[in-house]
Each structure stands twice: as structure tokens, then as C-alpha cells.
Structure 1
Amino acid sequence: MKQNYLSVYLLQSSLPRLRLGVGLCLLVLVWLVLVPSVRAQESVLPYRVEKMSDQSVMGDFMVGPGKFELSIAPGESQEVELFIGNRMGSTRAFSLVVEDVVGSSDTEQTVVLLGNDTGPYTLKDYLQLPVTEVTLEHGQRARIPVTVSLPADTEPGGHYGSLLVSTLTRPELEDNADNVDAGTTVVSQIGTLFFVTTPGDTTTGGELKDFALVPPEYFMTSGPVHFGLLFNNTGLIHLNPYGVIEIKNMFGEIVEIVELDPWFALPQSLRLREISWPKERLFGKYTATAKVNRGYEDIVDEQSLTFFVVDWRFVTLSFGTLVMLWWLYRVRVRRKI
């Protein structure tokens, strides 16, 4: 009997420990099951999402970089990273679409989006996206891998497209939407350009076609002075012309050198580059010479123009001063006589 009492006592005293052990085992089991599943859910996203340092509400979104320039051999691939940042103030869904682009002979259009059409320098079938839609909370930024793969039979030349990121916005929620009907939905869209060059023998050509003032006013009363450079790309790949504008005064002295950072010109297109000389206080005759490197074989085109800056107020004051001095001189001469 004593032995039975002892067994019962030992069993009762060990129950709390047994329960604690079972509880710990259950916790470990839950951790082993849930943590991998949470990590698996996080790893489902084929892109990274991070929090932006600036959480200000700007009512817009950011896409970058603005342009990728890649050189890819036939049959090879290259991966780049595109980022989308949400500053709209609320959770938004962003759609990603790829379209071909071409240049234009209209200087008002830098590039022309072709929609569903296939361009002569098509790229849209060579861009691979892990997703076509991204949902971001305000202040979040997604980093999306984009792979460019060229077929093995790709011929030398250029391939051009744009990855368009768009989201729906309701203007009645914006401060500057006073003139928009309530309920109207606007699609906001930003594009990143892709310029892909396949090495090999191809046609390269271009030149500075015109250099002029914009608008063409060659007599002015003050600065700033606005220049326009028209570049004509006649080849099959894009070019990045660059250079300087050298400005001399009426005495032949160089008074300013305006730097021309590289700008792109797509194949078979015209590209207008406008740049200003911000100096306002000018006087006399000036000669500006544009020296533009075509972006290949170190060929430089030069064109010059002449303009005059005359402040009519200064001319009028000077003329009035001369008349007054002449009148005083005549009066003095008459008094001597």
C-alpha cells in the first residue's frame, strides 16, 4: 500500500514538469512550422521592398533610373535593377508595361511610344519582368530586377524600348484639381528608356544640322541668351553628341564657354537641344561658336552665329548726355563771342 501511495505521489509531483515540457515542445513545433512559412511568404516576392528615408507626402511616385544604356552580344543576357518609390500618401498598385520606341523628325517629340506596335528597332520581346504589377504602401520603394536577353541570331545595331510604370490617381483628392470633374480618374505614367546596342558592323552617322538662337532674335536688349542645337542622326544606332559653345565679344576675346553635356539622338531622327547663357548684363556684338562632337570617331562639327545686345535705355541716356554736352559747349562759345 505504501508503495502505491509513493507512486501516486511521484506521479502528481511530476505532472507540472511534464506539462511544462509538453508546452515547450509545442512552442518549438509552432516555431519550426510558422517561421519557415513566413519566410517562404516573404521570399515569394521576386523583388525587394524597402522603406524610403523620406516619408513626406508629395502626391507623386518616382521611377529610376531614367535610362539604361547596355551593350549585349547576341545570345547573351544582362540584368539591371529598376526602382519604384511611392510618395502618393496611400497604398497604390503600379503596373509595368514594355513598349517599343522610335525617334522623330518632329523636334517637339524626343521619343515616340508605339503602344502594341512593333518598332523597326524592337526591344519589347527581349525584356523580361518578374511581375507586371507592384503594390506599395506610402513611403515604400521596390527594387525590381529586369533582364534583357538577346536571341543568338540578333544582328548588329540598336534596340530601343521603354518600360512604363503607371498608377491610377483621382484628381479630386489633389490640391491642384480644381478644374477637374469629381470622379475623374487619371493615369499617371513614367517611363524608363532602354538603349541596347549589339556590337558589330553597322551604319553610324550624324551631324550638327543647325545652330541658332531660340527664338531667332539676333538683336536684343539684354540677356539671357537661348541657343538651339539641332542634331540629325542618320545611322542605325543612337548617338550621344556633346561639346561646348564658345562665346566671344566684339574684341575677339572669349567671355564664356558653355558646356554641352551629352544628349541622345535615336536612329533616323532629329533631336533639338536647348541651352541658355544666363548672363543678363551684356552689350555689343557677340559671336557664338558651337563645337559638337558627334559621339563617334571623335568627329567635331562647328557652326557660328552672331548676335547684338543693345540696351536702348543706355543708348538713349548716352545720346541725351552728348546732346546736353554739345548744347553747353555752344552756349559757352556764344558767351565768349
Structure 2
Amino acid sequence: MSVAIVSVSNTASANAVAASTDTVSGNGQALEIAPPVLNLTADPGQTIKAQLSLRDISNNKLIVSNQIDDFVANGEDGTPKLLIDSTETSPYSLKAWISPIAQLTLSPKQVKQIPITIKVPADAAPGGYYGVIRFSGKAPELTDTGVSLSASLGALVMLRVNGAVTEKMSLVEFGTSQYGKTGSLFEFTPITFYERIKNDGNIHEQPTGQITITDMFGKVVAGVNINMPPKNILPNSTRKFEQPLDKTSLGNRILFGKYTASIKIKYGSSNDTLTKTIAFWIIPYKIIAAIILVLIGAITLLVFMVKQYNQFIINKAQGVKKVKKPKKNKNNKIKK
């Protein structure tokens, strides 16, 4: 059974899968939910039903309450922001369409199926709508105290209303980096490709594709997949993806010189494409610079030694010898 966490900090990752455990009055209490994401489709005016599984994985009986909220994109890492504050609204609000869910009681290790009913208005515009159903539990003896768990757990609901949706994406940026620093000149691999893709449509998308790397002679040296496994980009948001160029795709190949990276991304029901090409260099310039300095030093020394040797040979050939100066006596006369 999968588990998703939604913390009270108003942010949650739909990809996070972990157990939530908190301690209240010394009793460990935790809930588990599956699936962490409900991907649904409906027509305007249709009522659809889904189901969540909720389990008490603690050793205590729990009174479980729930809350339904909207969420929007928060940043570029795929983390949703829960709109808990009533002053925050979303054009893709779903919470009013989800029927209220009754409070329930779970015995230790018990699993219950939670029916979810969504009533789509007849005038609902085609596109995506997003909400989260959160659950929190407390021990029966704490029901009237106001004390509850410090974290809630929930499932994201992503609903597509059928019709003439707008599917439009753009490649905001495509580049290379190493250790978090962007650039196009590197000493060695691995390096990282990154893409910032914006969703200008009104429905969530899961773009996929590949980066093809070729050398200066046009030979393909590697290929790197994008957004695998597929992750969503919500409407009116930008998401950043990263892929390493390492031994996984290169094997034992050592790169040197200029390379070209061509990206091709497909998205939407019509398989629309986004493309771009960039160049980057792999040159161990620090090592090369050190080798050049060593060679310069060695050549300089060799030239000096050759000059000294040549001078010695010339002097020897001309019979040049050192002449001793005659000694003088005390009267400053030269001794014969």
C-alpha cells in the first residue's frame, strides 16, 4: 500500500511516499493512504465515484477527520501548495465539487475503503481541476481536547473535464550544469542537462522526450531520457527537470572536445513537439594548462643547457684559457 504525506506547512509532494508517525500522550499514531494520487476524467454535468484506502498502522484506535482543499503549483520542483487559507483561490478549484466525507473510526491495523464522490457542474469548462483530500487522526480520549496530530496525510485529486482543452507548452530554458553551476565548458563528466518547461494550457501535462548527444563529427555518443517516469506540470506553471550525463548513458566512453545536445519533447494528445539544440565542451583545461607549463619549463631549461654547452664547445675550440695574474711583492713590483 502506498502512503502520501501532506504536512501542515501547506506544501506536499505528490511523489513523496512515506509513513506519517506522531506521538500524542505517549501513544504512537499513524495513518496510511492509497493511492497517493487520483487521476480522474469526467464530462461536464457528470457525477463520478472513486475510492481511497485508509489504514491505521499504529497500535491505537483513531478518530479520523478530514478536510478538502485546493492546490496549485509551488515553485519549479513539482511540489504543490495547499490553499488552506480561505483568502487564496485557484482558477482550477475542485474542492466545491467533492462531496463531504464523514468522520470515521479506525481500529489498530484496520483498513477502510473511503468512497469519494465528485459532482462536476454542467457548465464546467474543459480543462484540469485540482484538489487534495487530507486526513488526520486522534485518540478517542483526545477528541474533546482539541489536541490532534501535527501532520495530516492526503491524496491529491487531478480531474480532467473533457472537451476542447488548451494544450500549449514552451521550452523556457535548456542548458548544462555541473555541481549546480551552469555553463558550457567542463573539465570532465558527469554533467547535468536541465530543462525548464512551462505549461501555458489549462490541463496538466506529462511531457516526455530525449536528448541526443553528438560529437564534432556528427556521431551519436549518447541519449538521455526526459521526465521518466512521467511527472505532471500543472497549468500556468513552470517545472524544472534534470538528467545526468554519466556512465549510465556513456558507458566507459571518455568525452573530449565539442559536443552538441539536441532535445526533442512531446506532449499533449496530438504529440506536439518542442525542440532546441545547444553546444558544450569537455576539455580538461586545468590539466592541459599544467602540462603546457611543465613543457615550457622543460623547453626553457633545455635551451639554456644547449646554450651553455655550445659556449663551452666554442671556448674549447678557440683555446681560451684563464690567465693567472702575476703576483706583486711588498714594493708593488712584479716578481720575475
Instruction: Indicate whether the TM-score tops 0.5.
Output: yes
Aligned residue number for residue 113 of structure 1: 82
Aligned residue number for residue 317 of structure 2: none
> Is the CA contact (8 Å cut-off) linking 2:20 and 2:32 kept in structure 1?
no
**AA of the residue aligned to 2:150:** V
Q: 1:162 to 1:318 in 2, by over 3 A?
A: same
Q: 1:140 to 1:302 in 2, by over 3 A?
A: same
Q: Cα RMSD between the aligned structures? A: 3.7
Aligned residue number for residue 53 of structure 1: none
Aligned residue number for residue 311 of structure 1: 284
Judge which range, 320-329 or 203-212, deviates more.
320-329
Aligned residue number for residue 172 of structure 1: none
Judge which range, 276-285 or 317-326, deviates more.
317-326
Aligned residue number for residue 153 of structure 1: 123
Please state how far the C-alpha of 1:99 moved relative to its aligned partner: 0.7
**AA of the residue aligned to 1:131:** A
| Counterpart Cα distance in 1 of 2:54 and 2:276 | 42
Please state how far the C-alpha of 1:207 moved relative to its aligned partner: 1.7
Q: 1:331 to 1:298 in 2, by over 3 A?
A: same
| SS state at 1:187 partner | coil
Please state how far the C-alpha of 1:309 moved relative to its aligned partner: 2.6
Aligned residue number for residue 288 of structure 1: 261
| SS state at 2:164 partner | coil
| Counterpart Cα distance in 2 of 1:285 and 1:148 | 55
Q: 1:134 to 1:211 in 2, by over 3 A?
A: farther
Please state how far the C-alpha of 1:120 moved relative to its aligned partner: 1.5
Q: Percent identity?
A: 27
TM superposition score normalised by structure 2:
0.64
* Equivalent runs, 1:1-337 vs 2, <5 Å: 59=21, 61-87=31-57, 92-103=62-73, 106-107=75-76, 110-115=79-84, 116=86, 117-128=88-99, 130-137=101-108, 139-166=109-136, 187-214=150-177, 215=180, 216-260=182-226, 261=228, 262-279=230-247, 282-312=255-285, 314-315=287-288, 318-319=291-292
| Counterpart Cα distance in 2 of 1:134 and 1:286 | 61
**AA of the residue aligned to 2:92:** Y
**AA of the residue aligned to 1:147:** T
Q: 1:185 to 1:93 in 2, by over 3 A?
A: closer
Q: 1:317 to 1:102 in 2, by over 3 A?
A: same
Tell me the alpha carbon deviations over residues 71-116 of structure 1, each in whole angstroms, 9 at most, x when there is no partner: 1012322222223345556555544321112235x42564332123
Q: 1:88 to 1:255 in 2, by over 3 A?
A: farther
| SS state at 1:68 partner | strand
| Counterpart Cα distance in 2 of 1:62 and 1:277 | 37
Q: 1:222 to 1:167 in 2, by over 3 A?
A: farther
Q: 1:242 to 1:103 in 2, by over 3 A?
A: same
Tell me the alpha carbon deviations over residues 138-189 of structure 1, each in whole angstroms, 9 at most, x when there is no partner: x5544322222213333322221112234579xxxxxxxxxxxxxx986223
| Counterpart Cα distance in 2 of 1:132 and 1:282 | 61
| SS state at 2:241 partner | strand
| Counterpart Cα distance in 1 of 2:296 and 2:243 | 41
Q: 1:277 to 1:89 in 2, by over 3 A?
A: farther
Gaps of 5+ in 2: 1-18, 22-29, 140-146, 314-336
Please state how far the C-alpha of 1:329 moved relative to its aligned partner: 8.9
| SS state at 1:238 partner | coil
Please state how far the C-alpha of 1:283 moved relative to its aligned partner: 3.4
Return the structure number with greater helix share: 1
Please state how far the C-alpha of 1:118 moved relative to its aligned partner: 4.4
Q: Count residues in correspondence.
A: 265
> Is the CA contact (8 Å cut-off) linking 1:208 and 1:230 kept in structure 2?
yes
> Is the CA contact (8 Å cut-off) linking 1:96 and 1:133 kept in structure 2?
no
Tell me the alpha carbon deviations over residues 264-308 of structure 1, each in whole angstroms, 9 at most, x when there is no partner: 221222222223223396433332222111324221111122222
| SS state at 2:96 partner | helix
| Counterpart Cα distance in 1 of 2:119 and 2:188 | 53
> Is the CA contact (8 Å cut-off) linking 2:31 and 2:57 kept in structure 1?
yes
| Counterpart Cα distance in 2 of 1:263 and 1:322 | 52
> Is the CA contact (8 Å cut-off) linking 1:110 and 1:271 kept in structure 2?
no
**AA of the residue aligned to 2:159:** V
| Counterpart Cα distance in 1 of 2:243 and 2:126 | 34
| Counterpart Cα distance in 1 of 2:277 and 2:62 | 51
| Counterpart Cα distance in 1 of 2:237 and 2:306 | 71
